[in-house]
A and B are shown apart, each in its own frame.
Chain A
Amino acid sequence: DGGITQSPKYLFRKEGQNVTLSCEQNLNHDAMYWYRQDPGQGLRLIYYSQIVNDFQKGDIAEGYSVSREKKESFPLTVTSAQKNPTAFYLCATRQGSGNQPQHFGDGTRLSIL
């Protein structure tokens, strides 16, 4: 989706290191989401934010942290507490409330060195 930019596309993490994945959007969408995708599986929700300066844990928040200081930005930090961080991470946004689709970026693939 051209309005959602995730960077970097590939990221490597050393043991004990925190890494931050970037998600920027120019769609003026209120809600933003972070998902984790493992091979052959669906998407699992890590964190989400419906307005600036507010966010909620998803189903698998342990070992991750987020911030939402600006409407257009929702960075995800994978901390050293996340023992199995290797996965494909997807950021999504949604306009307004109610029945609206989420739109996705092209993901960041995180691997362990």
Chain B
Amino acid sequence: GESVGLHLPTLSVQEGDNSIINCAYSNSASDYFIWYKQESGKGPQFIIDIRSNMDKRQGQRVTVLLNKTVKHLSLQIAATQPGDSAVYFCAEFLPFNDYKLSFGAGTTVTVRA
């Protein structure tokens, strides 16, 4: 079964607002996490990653936060734009299982104009 899950299957955001997408994981030994964005009919696109020795990592308009105490990570998108409408997946790296990725079911983000 999946060890990574997302709290909400859908998220509707007003253009210009900030978006927060949450994800919980269950394997304490996991040490690497990735956020992907998937647009309709396309493959997942790498957004940002974070290693377990970090609590926060920032990219362009995106920030990932990792809370190892409660096994939770989140993706924050600043000033959400229509092009941010997509499905967002978190993925957990399984170093004890051939370095495979375990994916959550995804959160569909819809940006309202």
Contact = CB atoms under 8 A, between A and B. Distances in A.
Given A42-B2, A42-B105, A56-B98, A101 B46 contact: yes
Q: Which of A4, A56, A98 has the most CB of B within 10 A?
A: A98
B6 to A, nearest CB: 9
Interface stretch (A12-20, A63-71, A75-83, A103-111): A103-111
B99 A98 contact: yes
B103 A1 contact: no
Interface string A52-94: 0000101000000000000000000000000000000010101
B103 A42 contact: yes
Contacts of B45: 1, 104
Q: How large is the interface on A (under 10, 10 to 19, 20 to 34, 35 or more residues)?
A: 20 to 34
B43 A1 contact: yes
Given A40-B105, A42-B2, A42-B105, A101 B43 contact: no
B42 A42 contact: no
A99 B105 contact: no
A43 B42 contact: no
Interface string B49-72: 101000000000000000000000
Contact of B31 (A41, A58, A92, A99): A99
Contacts of A106: 41-43
Contacts, number: 59
Given A99-B31, A101-B49, A41 B43 contact: no
Nearest to A6: B43
A17 B104 CA distance: 32
Given A41-B106, A98-B99, A101-B34, 4 more contacts: A42-B106, A43-B44, A104-B44, A107-B41
Instruction: Give 8 nearest A-B pairs by CB, closest first.
Output: A104-B43, A42-B103, A99-B32, A43-B103, A42-B105, A106-B43, A104-B44, A101-B46
Interface of A: 1, 4, 6, 40-43, 45, 48, 50, 56, 58, 90, 92, 94, 97-99, 101-107, 109
Interface of B: 2, 4, 9, 31-32, 34, 36, 41-46, 49, 51, 89, 91, 93, 95, 98-101, 103-106
